[in-house]
Structure 1
Amino acid sequence: MDYQLILNEIAEEIMSLQDKGKVANYIPALENVNPEQFGMSLTLFDGTQYNVGDFNTLFSIQSISKVFTFTLALKFYSTGLYKRIGREPSGNPFNSLVQLEYEHGVPRNPFINAGAINVTDTLMSYYGDSTTASKEIMQFIQDIAGEPSLTHNEIVSTSEMDHGFRNMALANLMKSFNNLDNDVHDVVQTYFRHCAIEMNTKMLSRAMLFLSNHGIDPISGVEYLSEQQAKRVNAVMLTCGHYDASGDFAFHVGLPGKSGVGGGIVAVVPKKMGICVWSPGLNAQGNSLAGTLALELFTSKTGMSIF
């Protein structure tokens, strides 16, 4: 299959959509990102990559980082993690306070904001403090991406902290239900730090390989998760990876995936490849408008939907 030709066709077909979405202006540091950018990368099991567009441009991975923190927490706590975090689709916006209150401080899944904040809390408890947790999360992402130079954008994380009132409210609400162990400020700050990690589509498509290969990185041979645990992460990505648009994404694209408000989307083709697409303009649900269509076109052209 000529993947480069397919990527070139996709880039051509979505060109008219690149300025249709809206950037995440509720995070001031992301507000000035040029929406007319598009990049897409595929990484195969032998390390071969195919790219198109702005694939070398670094962007804020935002909620894509939730896949990586969930992976670490699942590795350390196994099924015990589900005592404090659910695994069902939310059907509500990613920062809903109403649902969290109604469900007594137990986040519906690890990919909504409350769930990811709770996961961050578990990692802080495991590592002992916020500084070590941030360092270990970064080290893990550097390892799976094969990029030791990765870092986070301090301006973005500070901007998020300065305007993170709703996330602080989510954390405080969980604390009030005794479902958060560490200091609320420290947990939210650590959460924003991993959301502000910067990567490009090449790095992210490479980072998803272990999830497309039953938990084992096909290039390095390192086992990051058991086969059962990798299956769980992929299942939650499929059902919960796009917030209240997860059903639409499964319907149109048909791959386990996770979006971020920085405009990135990662996806997994089991036993074949990792994918990342980036376009900063978002749809009403906070997912990349052009990126979502690009992935739909990809599965339509290749027949690689899991369905």
Structure 2
Amino acid sequence: MMLKRDVDLKAAVEAAWAAAAAHRGEGKVASYIPALARVDPMKFGIAVVTRSGEAIVAGDADEAFSIQSISKVFMLALALNRIQAMLWERVGREPSGSAFNSIVQLEVEKGKPRNPLINAGALAVTDAVIGDGSPDEAVAALLDYLRSAGDDGAVLTDDEVATSESEAGARNRSLAYFLSAFGNLRNPVEDVLSAYFRQCATAMSCRQLARAGLHLAFDGRDPVTERAPITPSRSRRINSLMLTCGHYDNSGDFAFRVGLPGKSGVGGGILAIVPGEASVCVWSPGLNAAGTSLAGAIALEALVERTGWTVFA
């Protein structure tokens, strides 16, 4: 996968930002989480980090936002590092075709979530990362991972958002208790939720998140630092799950329009991986009906049109 001949990447990023800028403010912010309901819907940033570590940015690319479900990608990496293939005994690998917080599917399928990127699956993954340790240790492991992968020690949890999520977390509590009832949580429900709400409340900018995802574009090895947080096979599996499951019941449309592995979060961010080339992060808080950034998806579609980046080339 390579850039189209004679493409100026800086110009392509600026064109992608411009193509989506008119859609700022469209969609709906995640109002069910009070702290996210207060975010300015006109914010919009994009960052592309290449093999050399160079960042090409536009808009609000250096403003921190709540990464929310994008954290599931990195927790999945930690869980695979910790318990390896045993994770798949507890979580499936199929697209859900349902909303990210569906309870019906979890009950019908006897407590085994369809994949690790829906909320129920992510709760099981978080439980696996906690293991015999504590919620605090699991959150610290995530922050260490992001700081190391992003070569940036400034990544933090937004405690206000975490508290807000916990206070509005009835649906996630229901999912966690369903998992526990079917024997798919090893730790107390509130311990798992404590770690889960804090992982989702991680605050990062587009520039930071794109940099932290760069190793996923190069088989798990950072091309700048040469650190390898995960093995090549795990990196490829994570990318495949991002492509098929990264946007809930909007995953097929995203693959059709953008053609890259990606993971959205209801904070308005999307992390997209360009294998062998780059990592991309966009952020715009207005969401479509499936919980994916509306303007962000438009920007990514415009970017791949200009660059020729797609896993289907």
TM-score, normalization by structure 1: 0.98
Q: Give structure 1 regions of 4+ aligned residues with deviation exceeding 4 angstroms.
A: none
1:286 to 285, 291, 307: 291
Q: Secondary structure at the match of 1:17?
A: coil
Q: Tell me which residue corresponds to 1:76.
A: 82
Give matches, 1:253-268, under 5 Å.
253-268=258-273
* CA–CA distance in structure 2, aligned partners of residues 306 and 282 of structure 1: 25
Q: Tell me which residue corresponds to 1:98.
A: 104
* CA–CA distance in structure 2, aligned partners of residues 20 and 179 of structure 1: 38
Deviation at 1:10, TM superposition (A): 1.6
Deviation at 1:251, TM superposition (A): 0.3
* CA–CA distance in structure 2, aligned partners of residues 226 and 154 of structure 1: 32
Contact kept? 2:269, 2:282, Cα under 8 Å: yes
Contact kept? 2:217, 2:275, Cα under 8 Å: yes
* CA–CA distance in structure 1, aligned partners of residues 22 and 311 of structure 2: 28
Deviation at 1:11, TM superposition (A): 1.7
Give per-residue Cα distances to partners, 1:227-256, cap 9 Å, x unaligned: 111110000000000000000000000000
2:44 to 22, 34, 38: 38
Q: Secondary structure at the match of 2:29?
A: coil
Deviates more, 1:179-188 or 1:129-138: 129-138
Q: Tell me which residue corresponds to 1:202.
A: 207
2:22 to 11, 16, 25: 16
User: Percent sequence identity over matched residues?
Assistant: 47
Q: Which amino acid aligns with 2:8?
A: D
Q: Which amino acid aligns with 2:309?
A: M
* CA–CA distance in structure 1, aligned partners of residues 25 and 135 of structure 2: 38
Q: Tell me which residue corresponds to 1:148.
A: 153
Q: Secondary structure at the match of 2:171?
A: helix
2:128 to 116, 122, 125: 122
1:169 to 174, 186, 197: 174
Q: Tell me which residue corresponds to 1:270.
A: 275
1:107 to 101, 108, 113: 113
* CA–CA distance in structure 2, aligned partners of residues 183 and 170 of structure 1: 13
* CA–CA distance in structure 2, aligned partners of residues 12 and 214 of structure 1: 31
Q: Which amino acid aligns with 1:53?
A: G
Q: Which amino acid aligns with 2:37?
A: E
Q: Tell me which residue corresponds to 2:33.
A: 27
Give matches, 1:179-194, under 5 Å.
179-194=184-199
Unaligned runs of 5+ in 1: none
Please tell me whether residue 56 in structure 1 is matched to residue 62 in structure 2: yes
Q: Tell me which residue corresponds to 1:134.
A: 139
RMSD between aligned alpha carbons?
Answer: 0.8
Contact kept? 2:15, 2:302, Cα under 8 Å: no
* CA–CA distance in structure 2, aligned partners of residues 267 and 15 of structure 1: 19
Q: Which amino acid aligns with 2:236?
A: K
Please tell me whether residue 218 in structure 1 is matched to residue 223 in structure 2: yes
* CA–CA distance in structure 1, aligned partners of residues 19 and 164 of structure 2: 35
Q: Secondary structure at the match of 2:32?
A: coil
Q: Secondary structure at the match of 2:48?
A: strand
Q: Which amino acid aligns with 2:41?
A: P
TM-score, normalization by structure 2: 0.96
Q: Which amino acid aligns with 1:74?
A: L
Deviation at 1:301, TM superposition (A): 1.1
* CA–CA distance in structure 1, aligned partners of residues 173 and 308 of structure 2: 43
Q: Tell me which residue corresponds to 1:301.
A: 306
* CA–CA distance in structure 1, aligned partners of residues 75 and 288 of structure 2: 25
Q: Which amino acid aligns with 1:182?
A: N
Number of residue pairs matched by the alignment:
306
* CA–CA distance in structure 1, aligned partners of residues 280 and 40 of structure 2: 22
Q: Which amino acid aligns with 2:151?
A: G
Q: Secondary structure at the match of 1:267?
A: strand
Please tell me whether residue 87 in structure 1 is matched to residue 93 in structure 2: yes
* CA–CA distance in structure 2, aligned partners of residues 111 and 282 of structure 1: 18
Unaligned runs of 5+ in 2: 1-6
Contact kept? 2:129, 2:138, Cα under 8 Å: yes
Please tell me whether residue 7 in structure 1 is matched to residue 7 in structure 2: no
Q: Which amino acid aligns with 1:111?
A: L
Q: Which amino acid aligns with 2:67?
A: I
